[in-house]
Amino acid sequence: MILDGKKVSKLIKADLKKQVTSITNNLGYTPKLATILVGSDEASKVYVNMKVKACKNIGIDSLKIQMPENTTTNTLIKKINELNESKQVCGILLQHPTPPQIDEAKCFNAIALSKDVDGTNTASFGKMAMGQPAFKCATPLGIIMLLDYYNINLQGKNALVIGRSQILGKPIASMLINKNATVTIAHSKTKNLKRHLKQADIIVACVGKPEFIKTSYLKKGVIIIDAGYNKGNIGDVDLKGARKKASYYTPVPGGVGPMTIAALLTQTVKACKNLK
C-alpha cells in the first residue's frame, strides 16, 4: 500500500487554511513565517520558494530574507535575534545548508524555542527526545504524521534508520522510540548492514545515495519510508523491486517531501496560536 504523502498533506493543508482564516478573523493577525537563505545555492532557493508558496496557499504571510554568501555568523545571529523580537513573526526557518564560514549549529540555537518551527534548535531536540512538548524537525515529524494517518502501529516493531543527520536520522530515531519501536541506527561505519535490513519491520532510509537499498536485503511485509531524494527523482531505495515485498511504502516523489511542508506549516500555525 502506498503511503501517499501528497494526498495526506493536501488534507492537512486544507484544515490549516481554515485555522489560519479563523486566527485572522478572530485576532486580526495573520501568521508570518520568516525564511532566511544565506548565499545563492540553487537547490536551497527552490526549497525556500516552495515553502513560501505553500504558506501563501493556506493564508500565511512570508518574510523571505536573502543574505549574501559572505555573511558572518555574528551578522546572521543578529538578524535571527531581530526576528525573535518581532511581534509580527511567529516562525523562523534558517535554510540548510549555510556557507562554510557559518557556525550553523550556533545559528540554529539562536532561534527562540517559541519560533523554532523547523525544530533545529538543540534544546528543541532535547525536549522532543525526552517526550516533552517541543517543535520537531519538519521531515521526521512529517513521517510520523504520515504513519499516524494510516494508523500504522509502531509498538514493538524493529525499526532501522539508515542515516544519522542532525535534522533527519537522529530525530526520527527518537520519535520512533517515543512510539515504542525498537530502533537501530545504521551509518557509514555500520558492519553487516544486510543483516540489519533483513531483521527490520520498518526502514527509514535517509542516506542520500540513489537506490542504495536493494530488494534482496528486505523481508516480506516491511514498511519502507524513503526519505532520500536524489537527482532524477530517485530515492534511496530500489522501489521497483522493494514494493513487491513491502506492506507499505512511500513513493519518490510524493511521499515524504510533501509531508515535510505540511509539518512545517502545522508548527507555524501552532506557534502563532501559542504566541497569541
The answer to whether 15 touches 37, Cβ cutoff 8 Å, is no
The answer to whether 2 touches 253, Cβ cutoff 8 Å, is no
* Grid cell locating 248: 507499505
| Residues taking part in catalysis | 51, 95, 118
d(CA 73, CA 70): 10
Helix (H) or strand (E) holding 176: helix 169-178
Query: ∠ CA(269), CA(113), CA(150), 5° rounding?
Result: 50
Q: Return contacts of 45-51, CB within 8 angstroms, 24+ apart.
A: 47/95, 48/95, 50/261, 51/93, 51/261, 51/264
